Amino acid sequence: MKENQHVEWKENWRDEYLKWICGFANADGGLLVIGRNDRGVTVGVSNARKLLEDLPNKVRDVLGIMVDVRVVEENGKELIEIRVESYPSPVSYKGEYHYRSGSTKQELKGAALEQFLLKKRGRHWDGVLEPSFTARSCSTEAIRLFKEKAMKSGRMGRAVLHDSTEVILENLELVEKHGLKRAACLLFSDRPEQFVSGSWIKIGFFVTDDDLQYQDEVHGNLFDQVEKTLELLHTKYLKAYISYQGLQRVETFLFPYAALREALLNAVVHKDYSSGIPIQISVYNNKIVLWNPGNLPENWTMERLLGKHPSRPFNPLLANAFFRVGYIEAWGRGIEKINRECREHDIQPPEYDFGMAGLMLTFQANPAHMRADILDQGSTTPIATPITTPITTQDKLVSLILAKPEISQQELAEALGLTRGGIKYHLNKMKLDGVLRHVGPARGGSWEVLK
């Protein structure tokens, strides 16, 4: 028998090894062997019979659990085996919580301890009560948009349009006896970072890892964050390559929209919001990197991550709300969908890195799509096709405003095929950046382009 996640060897007994027993009890259980050194050599213990009597009582008095202790003989020497079962409730050693992870023991602190205690109690982070957030705190606009999207998705009947805020929250299982759960403020507050630190998304364009050209922060409820982030990526950050079908010029983005959308939704649903760190998206000329704070749920393997063995989401209440509006499908299918979209787009599936206290997902562009000599179909003559950045939404807004300074937000939204919320976001940012200013009353005034 070798040392592994479930087996630990110790040469002599020390009372500090109660921490290892605590770690086994809080994880999947295990076996602590006394009388074998780190090399696996049997050295035996001289006081095996005394330990056989003392250890069960010591474990019970300090940890509050029962273990199976027995003496075994090997090569003429006596060893003590302490078999520990996994306990459904948290086990502490003098106020400390230890956990067996791999072949090491860790003391749980901070966010990791909170997640562990919630798991042992059968709860998730997003299901904990947030007493400072009430139904009256919910954004009327966010509730309205949820109703419309849920009805259009077919996941909720048309009657949802007439439901009150309280009924919506109840149907989404966001209500507890003494208030609302954390997921409610993330889904329906216009400023969720007031309740949950770091609950926003950060985007940056990099030439190299240490050369940031420009960046944006996306705030608001989670539904808005997803919509605005995808819009920003495709109107400001991502580049397209140009090809020709006969005389028709075709622009194709380096990365498939559906795969990026799925990756972003996975990041939002599986994020560890207790970390206080925003989701970060780094865009380069040839790749895009999404980093999501938090570790994978316990016991997740690559097979489970790839959707072969679906598991419940990290934040099931958030996932349920996103499912109702049609943003996500069945649990565990997201990675499979991302890989399929990448193959159809002629790029490799993304790379996954579970280090750096989170999940990093990297999409690499196809080098062939980035050449300046992509051939016209049916032709052998190279056509100069440098990578180009599409005209941004803000460029289009400036053009429309120059043509008609008194244009309304509704007219801008209809002209560009965006929501009024998306138009408002861009206009506010352009005002802050000194590009635009509004002259006169909110209704009946006009826009002036400053630069």
Query: Rounded mean pLDDT of 151-167?
Result: 93
pLDDT band at 67 (very low <50, low <70, confident <90, very high): very high
- How far apart are the C-alpha atoms of 25 and 83, rounded to whole Å? 10
User: Which residue pairs, CB below 8 angstroms and at least 24 apart, start in 377-385?
Assistant: 377/243, 377/244, 377/245, 377/246, 378/246, 383/244, 385/241, 385/242, 385/243
- How far apart are the C-alpha atoms of 448 and 406, rounded to whole Å? 9
Q: Which residue has the higher pLDDT, 372 or 222?
A: 222
CB 241 within 8 A of CB 254: yes
CB count within 10 Å of CB 302 equals 11
- How far apart are the C-alpha atoms of 90 and 112, rounded to whole Å? 13
Comparing 199-208, 249-258, 259-268, the range with the smallest average pLDDT is 249-258
At 169, give phi and psi (nearest 5°). Answer: -65, -40
The domain locations on the chain are 7-108, 126-194, 201-317+324-370, 393-449
C-alpha 448: how far from chain center: 40
CB 409 within 8 A of CB 427: yes
Return the pLDDT at 300: 47
Question: Going by C-beta distance under 8 Å and a sequence separation of 6 or more, which residues neighbour residue 212?
Answer: 204, 205, 206
Q: Does pTM surpass 0.85?
A: no
The yes/no answer on whether domain 201-317+324-370 falls in CATH 3.40.50.150 is no
Comparing 40-49, 67-76, 213-222, 416-425, the range with the smallest average pLDDT is 416-425
Q: How does pLDDT run across 81-129, given as a tens digit for each residue?
A: 999 999 988 999 999 999 998 788 889 887 778 778 887 877 788 888 8
Closest CA to 91 of 23, 32, 146: 23
Residue 331 confidence (pLDDT) above 90: no
Q: How does pLDDT run across 211-220, given as a tens digit for each residue?
A: 999 999 999 9
Return the pLDDT at 387: 39
Residue 224 confidence (pLDDT) above 90: yes
Q: Which residue has the higher pLDDT, 113 or 312?
A: 113
Residue 161 confidence (pLDDT) above 90: yes
Residue 308 confidence (pLDDT) above 70: no
- How far apart are the C-alpha atoms of 436 and 429, rounded to whole Å? 9
| CATH of 7-108 given 3.30.565.10, 3.30.950.30, 3.30.230.10, 3.40.50.620 | 3.30.950.30
Q: Which amino acid is at 307?
A: G
The string of DSSP codes covering 382-445 is: B-----BPPPPHHHHHHHHHHH-TT--HHHHHHHHT--HHHHHHHHHHHHHTTSEEEES-TTT-
CB count within 10 Å of CB 62 equals 16
Hey, what CATH topology would domain 393-449 get?
Arc Repressor Mutant, subunit A (1.10.10)
Furthest C-alpha separation in the chain:
97
Question: Going by C-beta distance under 8 Å and a sequence separation of 6 or more, which residues neighbour residue 13?
Answer: 34, 45, 51, 55, 80
pLDDT band at 75 (very low <50, low <70, confident <90, very high): confident
